[in-house]
Amino acid sequence: MHQTWKLKGMLFFFHSAMTIIISYMPVYFQALGLSGSQIGILLAVGPFAAILSQPFWGYMSDRWKTVKYILIACLSGALIIGFAVFQMNEFVWLIFLLYAFFTFMSPAGALGDSLAQKVSYERGVSFGSIRMWGSLGFGTSSLVSGFILAEIGIGNIYYVYAFLLIIAILFCTQAPDSKPSKKKASLKKALSLGKDPTLALFLTMIFLISLTHRMNDTFLGLYIVELGGNETVIGTAWFIGVITEALVFATSAFWFRRFHPLTFIAFAAFLYVIRWLFMGMVPSPNEILVLQVLHGLTFGIFYLTAFQFVARLVPEELTSTGHLLFISVFFGMSGVVGSLLGGAVIDAFMVRTLYYWMFGFALIGLAGSFIYRTIYFKTAQGQADKKRVQSQS
């Protein structure tokens, strides 16, 4: 009997804790009396830290042949440094503390997904059936944590976050670790990934599409307010999106292997194009709630297939490095560029205009997915992949 339920528990409570950071840290900073521009700078620190820290911790897990214990180290570091973050109210010091905090917190999510992908492959279960518990944790926490913080006060945000993270750490200590690769990971091999044109082109295509996703993550709430909605609508929109995402993950065992991952990536990119076009045209927040169902199809399919496909593009002994390099592009680089570019567009126009920009970027990303697909299937690995998928269909 496999022990994946302990890994599922870790993902559930980690993403529950992450919800506190994503959803309520801006509100906490506002309660400290920080200005909008100061809050914007602090929110950009996390994605910036992720760009550098995620590939580093991914390489460390490959180098030391363990994902589980590197993950425990990151979760513990985030717990300890988080205490200092939520005791500080000086803006300059918060910048440095947040950088240290996200150096541990950001890679933890990617390491958890990497461990889930490896364990699912080793135990013969679908990655989505494990990863869905992270989405369920995020959705549950997005509903419950607001009521809790309203009762105890936003100033006590750390204690809610720490409670959830400690449970995640306890589950992680009992969760299975991935089997180490027989090959030794080296820094030279890890650095050589930067010279791989197939991987670089794939990450460029991923960036163009994930940029629009991260823009929506950052500015969806502002768009709902612009259309006349309130905090309740914002919370409902997030809940609908995350629950549909969990459903996509849960059913991945039935659809994932029917076609090549690049087919699903192109399909998800097409849905992103449709989603942003309709989002730019909605007359009221009610239509946004309906369109949030597309979040599960776009992000769920895109992330699940791209995350697993990137493992084919890197050596076996550098799988975690490849996973975290992918995450640093998907959430880190896209988060920084998306926040800065999106803010500039909103300042010059309005939030609705931003969604037409996102439509344009997604359209370029869709074209990029077809170009990459053509190039990849001309390679020897692409030909082998195509035959394998056809035999499984």
The DSSP 8-state label assigned to residue 179 in this structure reads P
Q: What is the pLDDT of residue 360?
A: 94
Q: Are 71 and 119 in contact (CB under 8 A)?
A: no
Residue after which a domain boundary falls, among 123, 156, 179? 179
Q: Is residue 185 part of a domain?
A: no
Indicate whether 75 and 129 sit together in one domain.
yes
Sign of the Cα torsion 286, 287, 288, 294 reads positive
Q: What is the CATH number of the domain that holds 59?
A: 1.20.1250.20
Q: What is the pLDDT of residue 187?
A: 54
Indicate whether 48 and 4 sit together in one domain.
yes
In this structure, which amino acid lies at residue 59?
A: Y
Indicate whether 228 and 322 sit together in one domain.
yes
Indicate whether 325 and 206 sit together in one domain.
yes
Indicate whether 4 and 56 sit together in one domain.
yes
Q: What is the pLDDT of residue 192?
A: 62
Residue after which a domain boundary falls, among 179, 213, 237? 179
Residues 6+ positions from 250 with CB-CB distance below 8 Å: 128, 129, 132
Rg (CA), the chain: 20
Q: Is residue 356 part of a domain?
A: yes
Q: How many domains does the chain have?
A: 2
Q: What is the pLDDT of residue 1?
A: 41
Of 173, 142, 160, which Cα lies nearest the Cα of 73? 173
Q: Is residue 186 part of a domain?
A: no
CA–CA–CA angle 207, 211, 216 (5° rounding): 155
Q: Which residues of 282-304 are buried (b: 16+ CB within 10 A; e: fewer)?
A: beebeebbebbebbbbbbbbbbb
Indicate whether 142 and 224 sit together in one domain.
no
Q: What is the pLDDT of residue 212?
A: 92
The C-alpha atoms of residue 261 and residue 303 are separated, in whole angstroms, by 10
Indicate whether 79 and 202 sit together in one domain.
no
Residue after which a domain boundary falls, among 115, 147, 179? 179
Q: Which parts of 313-350 fold into alpha helices (H)?
A: 319-327, 334-348
Indicate whether 116 and 210 sit together in one domain.
no
Q: Is residue 268 part of a domain?
A: yes
Return the structure tokens found at 37.
Answer: 């521009």
**Residue whose tokens read 């279960």:** 125
Of 201, 204, 211, 234, which Cα lies nearest the Cα of 359? 211
The C-alpha atoms of residue 35 and residue 225 are separated, in whole angstroms, by 19
Q: What is the pLDDT of residue 252?
A: 81
- Residue numbers in the chain where pLDDT is lower than 50: 1
Indicate whether 215 and 154 sit together in one domain.
no
Residue 156's domain comprises: 1-179
Indicate whether 233 and 154 sit together in one domain.
no
Indicate whether 162 and 210 sit together in one domain.
no
